[in-house]
Amino acid sequence: MPDERKKILEVHHLKQYFNVGKKDEVRAVDDVSFDIYEGETFGLVGESGSGKTTCGRAIIRLYDPTDGEIIFNGKDISKLKGKKEMHEFRREMQMIFQDPYASLNPRMKVKDIVAEGIDIHGLAKDDADRTKQVEDLLETVGLNKDHSSRYPHEFSGGQRQRIGIARALAVEPKFIIADEPISALDVSIQAQVVNLMKELQVKQNLTYLFIAHDLSMVKYISDRIGVMHYGKILEIGPADEVYGHPLHDYTKSLISAVPVPDPEFERNRKQVAYDETAEMDGKKRRMVEIAPGHFVRAAEDEVAMYTQRAVDAGLITE
Amino acid sequence: MVENPNNIEINPGDFAPLDKQAGPDKEKIAAPSLTFGQDVWRRLKANKTAFVSFIVLLLLFLMAFGGQALYHHDPNAQAPKYANLPPKIPGVNIHGLNGHITQSGQDVDAYKQAGASSSVHYVLGTDYLGRDLLARIMYGTRISLEIALIATLIDLTIGVGLGILSGWKGGRVDIFIQRIIEILSSIPSLVVMVLMATAFTKTGMASIIAALALINWTTMARLTRAQTLQLKNQDFILAARTLGESAPKIAWKHLLPNLSSVIIIQTMFTIPNAIFFEAFLSYIGIGISSPQASLGTLISDGQKNFQFLPYQMWYPAAVLIILMLAFNLLGDGLRDAFDPKSKR
Amino acid sequence: MENPENVIEVRNLEINFHTYAGEVKAIRDVSFDLRKGETLAIVGESGSGKSVTTRSLMGLLAPNAEIKKGSIMFHGDDIIKKSEKEMQHIRGKDIAMIFQDPMTSLDPTMRIGMQIAEPLMKHKGLKKKEAIAQALEMLKLVGITNPEGRINDYPYQFSGGMRQRIVIAIALVCYPEVLIADEPTTALDVTIQAQILDLMKDLQNRIDTSIIFITHDLGVVAGMADRVAVMYAGKIVEYGTVDEIFFNPQHPYTWGLLNSMPTLDTEGGSLSAIPGTPPDLLDPPVGDAFAARSDYAMKIDTQQEPPFFKVSDTHYAATWLLHPDAPKVTPPAEIVRRQQKFAAMQKPEAPIKSDTKE
């Protein structure tokens, strides 16, 4: 099924290794490929050590990728040359961080934090314009403008996370990588931040790469989900399909472990165990489209099994 | 924990829905806004020892740099006939402060012996050349402080600069700077001083400052490097990078303010060390040379007459001790004040 | 003790923190019981006072904390009145605690066998050899594979999940009557979390410990708790059995919490977030502290503090909505759905009770 929508980001065979060639070489991201369409939210799920954060940081070029292509708006940003190109790219793509306590400089006033991007890219005509832009941004994320002369430590976690979002929005990016933006927040505040992100997505036509380990929230916010494990993507597909009818054993195990706020459900829950060694039998695996838009990392002799699973789940007919 | 709520008075209108606009502010922050500096100052004031040290230091600085405006005596003016006079404060009749000394068991008015007129009095006495000791102590303290402050300033610039560079760049730059630091810190400081004395052809302020700066910056560089390594992976630094901030600006806007506590505390310990090192050099004769004076030379001079005229050594020594103590206690206090863990 | 089944009875606890800006009223009149063999979950946001409450049970409050009022009865003694020395005998032996971060709660320079054996040597006076032997048993119990081979390893040689198992082994080695678990799985991945929770349930059945489980994750609560206390702004606002809290909640804050989580069936649209932030306890609001963020707030909420209203013998909630004169309100759709399920659960021949161990 050819997708008519425009791809804003294409990641091809991205590899991010650390300490290359040394004894302690780490293959944090190992041959990862996926596309993100304009205006959608792509959820990248995985446990700690799966390489999801590294993947996000490689895409936004906090790291220099070891190998592979990252095509953003038709341009390969893994090979950006020169300060000018990089500077332009920095306006297009922004990031929201996990820890709202570490992501704001404790020695800076909120207005200077939010205005950082405005200052770097010279987006304000004068001081009055700068102040106005900051106040508008604070209002956009639901904070009062008289908060702007306070310091980060005076705010709660949720408020800080909103300040971080305002900072990212200041440069009017098209694409935002949200690296576990809600996992450090309280439940009631998580919903606030997620709603804010959804609202902004519609208003400002943003595309999100949403990195998280919390499957229930990812499923809710994302259009499509990619599941990462040990530096590789094991399954990609529409959010409901991946969550409702996971094809890969690892995804099944992950979903079965998510606690649900329903005592009755919890009493009858069966956790599916996952055997990691299945991935390490040395077989050559690649992403295979089992159902339309639903890919699984599989070896040639496993394709039939996954296809059968998809048939059983009603995703495809024979 | 069961209370039955029958005894509560309820008015009919109480169950009306609350007007949301008139309701309390949902995003209210009750605590007063405090900048980091104010917060540190508040905690420093609460620490009695550190605060007293701070006041004492302030007074010593005033005395050293402003004292001569009030006490018009040339620290280098020699008056051989008034040599070795004990302290005399007019109107005070306490032994030791009234110009009398004990000579071979007898109480003698030293000023009368020297044939000084009644209008002549030296508050802290005179040295073996008849120079006013108070003026010399003020002058000596100033020289000592100047040396320490200039040396520390140079330390700071080199140490913080190279420390940040080393921590931020990593890789080869880091290895190179670290090796230099290791080599420098393995040379005994006395050797460095002698080398500097040779390089400057004579000993004096310049050579001491050069030696101090060369020796001391390594500690500062190590500390800032360690902090920078920690800070550079903090999310707010990453955020600045994703916004396109250049490395020098990140260092200036994000690293330095967050390094400031470490730098200030370290400075508080570097200064007294520098003062002490200078005093030590001057004391053993390879430091400040006359007619300049520093606390070290004053102590050294005083020590020659210590048996008979102990005040000549006691007073400069007391100033040195108070200076050292105040700096160290203030440094301790600042460390506590900067430490976020002591916050609520 | 009012009830012989109670292990701990907390009454009218009030704790203030002295700060430069004034007194932060962290715990404002909290009372609860912990029964033998049960798991009591205390749910709340950060700053709601759930961690402070349990730290006071351990006698581990920060130096600037002051217990203004109240009592914590354990075995007929008031823990608050105990000296640090006496508390050291209770801590680890009768009341043990598991913290959130398994890395910082282990001593990185000590072999894990010794860390598990230490409380036995201290509290039970065992010889080193016997203590190590029991430590080995404990390692088997918490599911460390090849315990003989790993007993002399250091903490860094274990993964996060394994470390938390070791922390649990240390906490349970003296078979304490009460185990306080302060967000024990928050730092762990979901699959590891599920394993650790299963382990805790299993161990609780074996050694009959009462657990106070502190968390902000309602999913975890649903799976672990027998009873639940919901805390907000330094107070307990609702408590009841796990089914009562999840299927028949009464306090608007509990509604808000349950409603703000996406469930399996949540589709598109926006989540119902609770607007605003919790009040600053430097200056707690008059009346119901949740009023400012509640869609169901009434005038009385800003004037008088609601007392606990009885919903059932085991279920109480502090909200004026339960007052007989209060207008009937319709809770959010998700809560209505849950309450319907509750009604259906009540109908069958025998009322389904939560699976408390009796």
pLDDT tens digits, one per residue of B48-73:
899 999 999 999 999 888 887 788 77
Helix (H, G, I), strand (E, B) or coil at C136: helix
Is B107 a member of any domain?
Answer: yes
Is C273 a member of any domain?
Answer: no
Regarding whether B101 and B184 lie in a shared domain, the answer is no
- Asked if A97 and B34 come within 8 Å (Cβ–Cβ), the reply is no
Regarding whether C287 and C219 lie in a shared domain, the answer is no
β C39-43/C227-232 pair status: parallel
Is C186 a member of any domain?
Answer: yes
Is B33 a member of any domain?
Answer: no
Distance from CA of A217 to the nearest CA of C (A): 6
CB contact A275 to C (< 8 Å)? no
pLDDT at position C103 is: 75
Q: How far apart are the C-alpha atoms of A36 and A27, rounded to whole Å?
A: 23
Regarding whether B257 and B114 lie in a shared domain, the answer is no
Q: Phi then psi for A179, rounded to 5 degrees?
A: -95, 100
Is B246 a member of any domain?
Answer: yes
- Asked if A261 and C271 come within 8 Å (Cβ–Cβ), the reply is no
Neighbours of C, requiring at least 3 CB pairs below 8 Å, are A, B
Regarding whether C316 and C191 lie in a shared domain, the answer is no
Residue B337: which region, alpha, beta or left (left: phi > 0; alpha: psi -120 to 50)?
Answer: alpha
Q: Amino acid letter at B67?
A: G
Regarding whether B281 and B245 lie in a shared domain, the answer is yes
Regarding whether B97 and B246 lie in a shared domain, the answer is no
pLDDT at position B343 is: 40
What are the tens digits of pLDDT across the range A126-177? 999 999 999 999 999 988 888 888 888 888 888 999 999 999 999 999 999 9
Instruction: Give me the residue from C191, C263, C273 closest to A254, CB to CB.
Output: C191
Regarding whether B91 and B56 lie in a shared domain, the answer is no
Q: Amino acid letter at A79?
A: K
pLDDT of residue C253 exceeding 90, the answer is yes
pLDDT classification of C5: cutoffs 50, 70, 90: confident
Identify all chain B residues contacting C31, using CB atoms and an 8 Å cutoff.
1
User: Which chain B residues in 34-53 lie under 8 Å from chain C, judged by CB atoms?
Assistant: 42
pLDDT of residue A97 exceeding 60, the answer is yes
Is B23 a member of any domain?
Answer: no
Identify all chain C residues contacting B24, using CB atoms and an 8 Å cutoff.
285, 291-292, 302
pLDDT classification of A239: cutoffs 50, 70, 90: very high
pLDDT classification of A83: cutoffs 50, 70, 90: confident
pLDDT of residue A305 exceeding 50, the answer is yes
Regarding whether B268 and B189 lie in a shared domain, the answer is yes
pLDDT classification of B330: cutoffs 50, 70, 90: very high
pLDDT at position C302 is: 86
Regarding whether B261 and B137 lie in a shared domain, the answer is yes
- Asked if B14 and C283 come within 8 Å (Cβ–Cβ), the reply is no
Is C1 a member of any domain?
Answer: no
Regarding whether C255 and C195 lie in a shared domain, the answer is no
Give the global pTM: 0.84
What are the tens digits of pLDDT across the range C182-233? 988 887 888 888 888 988 998 898 888 999 999 988 999 999 999 999 999 9
Regarding whether B238 and B207 lie in a shared domain, the answer is yes
The CATH number linked to C68 is 3.40.50.300
pLDDT of residue B148 exceeding 60, the answer is yes
Regarding whether C219 and C261 lie in a shared domain, the answer is no
Domain ranges of chain A: 7-312
Regarding whether C215 and C256 lie in a shared domain, the answer is no
List the single residue in A with minimal CA-CA distance to C45: A186
- Structure tokens belonging to residue B242: 């994703």
* Residues sharing a CB contact under 8 Å with residue C45, sequence separation 6 or more, in sequence order: A186, A187, A188, A189, C216, C232, C278
**Residue A237, beta-bridge partner list:** A225
Regarding whether C127 and C201 lie in a shared domain, the answer is yes
What are the tens digits of pLDDT across the range C295-318? 898 888 888 899 999 999 999 999
List the single residue in A with minimal CA-CA distance to C246: A262
List the single residue in C with minimal CA-CA distance to A273: C191
For helices B205-231 and B256-284, the axis angle rounded to 10 degrees is: 150
Identify all chain B residues contacting C282, using CB atoms and an 8 Å cutoff.
30-31
Q: Amino acid letter at A77?
A: I
pLDDT at position C357 is: 43
Neighbours of A, requiring at least 3 CB pairs below 8 Å, are B, C
The topology (CATH level 3) of A7-312 is Rossmann fold (3.40.50)
What are the tens digits of pLDDT across the range B275-321? 988 888 888 878 787 778 888 888 888 888 887 778 888 888 999 99
Q: How far apart are the C-alpha atoms of B321 and A163, rounded to whole Å?
A: 50
Give the CA angle between residues B233, B238, B244 to the nearest 5°: 145
Distance from CA of C131 to the nearest CA of A (A): 34
- DSSP state string for B105-147: TEEEEHHHHTT--TT---TT-B-TT--BHHHHHHHHHHHHHHH
Q: Phi then psi for C264, rounded to 5 degrees?
A: -60, -30
pLDDT classification of C76: cutoffs 50, 70, 90: confident
pLDDT at position B342 is: 42
Q: How many domains does chain C have?
A: 2
E strand segments, chain B: 100-103, 106-109
Regarding whether B182 and B107 lie in a shared domain, the answer is no
- Asked if B236 and A102 come within 8 Å (Cβ–Cβ), the reply is yes
Regarding whether B311 and B213 lie in a shared domain, the answer is yes
Identify all chain A residues contacting C222, using CB atoms and an 8 Å cutoff.
259-263, 265-266
Q: How far apart are the C-alpha atoms of A257 and C188, rounded to whole Å?
A: 12
Distance from CA of C334 to the nearest CA of A (A): 12
Regarding whether C256 and C204 lie in a shared domain, the answer is no
Residues in chain C: 358
Q: Do residues B252 and A112 touch, judged by C-beta distance below 8 A?
A: no
CB contact B15 to C (< 8 Å)? yes
Q: Phi then psi for C181, rounded to 5 degrees?
A: -115, 110
Q: How far apart are the C-alpha atoms of C215 and C229, rounded to whole Å?
A: 11
pLDDT of residue C352 exceeding 70, the answer is no
Please provide the average confidence, as pLDDT, over all residues in chain B. 83
Is C356 a member of any domain?
Answer: no
Rounded to a whole number, what is the distance in angstroms from the first to the last CA of chain C? 20
pLDDT of residue B100 exceeding 80, the answer is no
- Structure tokens belonging to residue C176: 């304490």
Structural domain boundaries enclosing B113:
87-121
Q: Phi then psi for C126, rounded to 5 degrees?
A: -75, 150
Q: Which of A141-150, A198-207, C33-42 has the lowest mean pLDDT?
A: A141-150
Regarding whether B200 and B94 lie in a shared domain, the answer is no
pLDDT at position C268 is: 57
Distance from CA of B7 to the nearest CA of C (A): 11
Q: Which of B158-172, B315-329, C249-263, C336-350 has the lowest mean pLDDT?
A: C336-350
Identify all chain B residues contacting C296, using CB atoms and an 8 Å cutoff.
17
Structural domain boundaries enclosing C255:
250-265+282-346
Regarding whether B138 and B111 lie in a shared domain, the answer is no
Q: Do residues A70 and A15 touch, judged by C-beta distance below 8 A?
A: no
Q: How many domains does chain B have?
A: 2
Q: How far is CA A269 from the centre of its chain?
A: 28
